[in-house]
Structure 1
């Protein structure tokens, strides 16, 4: 099989949540366990860090991987979904899994896969574990796909578990209240394995405490120990003032989104806990890892500036919590007019996000090329209910081109609404 034939097999033969939604999701780890058993349990052959949460788990995973890389550890990183290339999901020291390794994995296990019929995600998790074990990584940072308890990644026994925050996303699968969703995320908390909670939330704190106590796991609410305050921005870095145990320091972070202030406490507390356990992570490794996250790990689409005239920014934030942060940060910019190039998916309630968007903005409605995409015409119709008006240009790059042609050089263009819209931006 060629690489393209292999991808066609993976994308077409296996149910894929990113494309299809609900039919590809099930609350069951049996397929992942069967795959791991077939592969001789590669997940037991390397140390790991497990990262869950509604928002921020991708940024946190990439940041921890960057810090560990700079500390000299051979570091695997598993994240999802991919933006441009399937191989983005599985990296070692920032290097994507080679295409011939993907081909080899499928070729060696195709018969078993065809008989088992795992989901696309279950298969990619198994491939990641296989690759990390084969290449003898020192540690792998493993990002949860969705939820926690029944997520395919939840077969590892990590050094530490991290939960970033809890918000309303995938409610049809995880629950309609924050405590219910927290209960699903808390499923990654293991017997006597320490857990770090990045962001303390009144509704969810008791859920995490109860779960941690039930399995004798130490628990740290990171923002109770680390106070973070944005101190300035220069040359593509955000400077944060950090207060820990009454000591004040400053860190530069290479990720520009203001929402990173919620992720930093969890990142710093996780590093602190790892050091207490004997991991050698110097202050230099910490600082360089945070400064160079994107270049070390290949992270894309988090408050990424695509152009400066007109200022053009993309971000993968797609739920109400993410959009609240996006809208707040847009207010920090000076511009004549705001253009919003938006596309969303149809299996989420978009009304709350639409209700928050500025009525004076110029909208261009688009749709990603996936079955889950909400048609641009339907999004425009829903937007009218909130007095949001604009053009319908279904293809993502054509929509961005339309905005650029019509925007003044002092305007600001934002493009997002869905990870899959950002994924289709040609220049990303």
Structure 2
């Protein structure tokens, strides 16, 4: 490359290098990783996959690791406001200069190999991690598991949070086929932590076939509520009493419990003091998971939930946390989502709907008019907007101080809402 580029220029460049936005397979990444001389990104590695709960589980693992005094790197996706959110080292987002240097290294190594946007980002993150002398690297799967770019790294512990129907175009039509793909991150004789009891049989069969050491929520570890938001984590012969979580929603306790199991499965994890786990789970934060903001006296909740399983969890939270006034939804989704199922899960808890378009997701973009066509039960009940920002304005006015606004449907939706709300301050 003859002249250096700013980070924004690099992101535009890598977006255009592969003809497909998503192209499953590890051959390209393995080849470039070899040319880069990439080996293990840290002394310990945890890879986190699953349909929902990945980002929160990564955040809990990261916080516990840092509470233990470890130097921790975390690679997650997608981002909400800035690409830099995807790569964290010792609690700080990678700055523009570091990311540019990493992209330059990947570009110089790839030669004739066309990489996708996610593959570029994964290799750049691994390149930065390898140079940071990390005690722990946490890698979040982007899509599926078996053929996802992060799977070029052999983890010490693999985690599957939940399995539900999503990304069917790439992963298969049902939980069994999707579970089979997600199970591909497991390694022979290494721990595989499963966050849910009702995991598809394909996951367990694969784990047993390769002799992975399964550690399953509801069988091998447990969590239960105590008073005042506190809770207990336990396994045979060991238990922890833990403080209330900073992340809202009941599902976060399951994510935190899964994170504790993953850290304890690491070499040295069982020796960590109870105070390390208590401090870690109390400090974990991740935006866009029932995140609370306020605008003109109106409570706004933002959640990146975008599939039926996530919608059911949101519905449970809304039922448990009623407000006096109306709950108004701001909903925008991508074209490959089960829109009608999401709407049906939440409809009993939503008084009014403000639908918005997403126009920055390439072929997965969906206008408000197209969204309404995909959700026929909302005909005559929804107002359409060109942008998420416009929908948020209308929702705040509709909800009033006694009501609530729920913004959900995708990372794009929440990211655009956050940008609009921050610009209003």
Alignment of 1:15-414 (within 5 A): 23-43=20-40, 46-113=43-110, 115-201=112-198, 204=200, 206-231=201-226, 238-245=229-236, 249-274=241-266, 277=268, 280-294=271-285, 299-307=286-294, 309-331=297-319, 332-358=321-347, 361-370=351-360, 371=362, 372-387=364-379, 389-414=381-406
Residue 223 of structure 1 and its aligned partner are, at CA, apart by 2.2
Residue 261 of structure 1 and its aligned partner are, at CA, apart by 3.1
User: Any stretches of 5+ residues in structure 2 without a counterpart?
Assistant: none
Instruction: Quote the Cα distance in structure 1 between the aligned partners of 2:357 and 2:387.
Output: 6
TM-aligned CA distance change 1:59 to 1:388, over 3 Å: farther
**What is the SS of the residue equivalent to 2:342?**
helix
**What is the SS of the residue equivalent to 2:261?**
helix
Residue 95 of structure 1 and its aligned partner are, at CA, apart by 0.7
Contact 1:368 1:424 in 2 (8 A): no
Instruction: Quote the Cα distance in structure 2 between the aligned partners of 1:65 and 1:27.
Output: 27
Residue 280 of structure 1 and its aligned partner are, at CA, apart by 4.6
Instruction: Quote the Cα distance in structure 2 between the aligned partners of 1:386 and 1:367.
Output: 15
TM-aligned CA distance change 1:84 to 1:14, over 3 Å: farther
* CA offsets 1:132-183 (integer angstroms, 9 cap, x no match): 0111111101111111110110011111111111000101111112111111
* CA offsets 1:192-226 (integer angstroms, 9 cap, x no match): 11111111116x1x323322222222111122233
Contact 2:44 2:135 in 1 (8 A): yes
Instruction: Quote the Cα distance in structure 2 between the aligned partners of 1:228 and 1:161.
Output: 20
Contact 1:42 1:130 in 2 (8 A): no
Instruction: Quote the Cα distance in structure 2 between the aligned partners of 1:414 and 1:248.
Output: 34
Instruction: Quote the Cα distance in structure 1 between the aligned partners of 2:112 and 2:102.
Output: 16
| 1:10 and 2:10 are equivalent in the alignment | no
Contact 1:61 1:141 in 2 (8 A): yes
Contact 1:194 1:219 in 2 (8 A): yes
**What is the SS of the residue equivalent to 1:363?**
strand
Q: What TM-score, normalized by structure 1, do the two folds share?
A: 0.90
TM-aligned CA distance change 1:141 to 1:45, over 3 Å: closer
User: Any stretches of 5+ residues in structure 1 without a counterpart?
Assistant: 16-22
Instruction: Quote the Cα distance in structure 1 between the aligned partners of 2:162 and 2:374.
Output: 29
Instruction: Quote the Cα distance in structure 2 between the aligned partners of 1:52 and 1:284.
Output: 27
TM-aligned CA distance change 1:278 to 1:327, over 3 Å: closer
Contact 2:57 2:259 in 1 (8 A): yes
Contact 2:14 2:116 in 1 (8 A): no
Q: What TM-score, normalized by structure 2, do the two folds share?
A: 0.90
Instruction: Quote the Cα distance in structure 2 between the aligned partners of 1:198 and 1:24.
Output: 29
Give the paired residue count: 410
Contact 1:43 1:130 in 2 (8 A): no
* CA offsets 1:56-106 (integer angstroms, 9 cap, x no match): 111111110110011011000000011111111111122111211122223
- Cα RMSD after superposing both structures: 2.2
Choose 60-69 or 266-275, whichever is displaced more: 266-275
**What is the SS of the residue equivalent to 1:223?**
coil
**What is the SS of the residue equivalent to 2:187?**
coil
Contact 2:71 2:134 in 1 (8 A): yes
* CA offsets 1:6-41 (integer angstroms, 9 cap, x no match): 2221233345xxxxxxx3223310111012111102
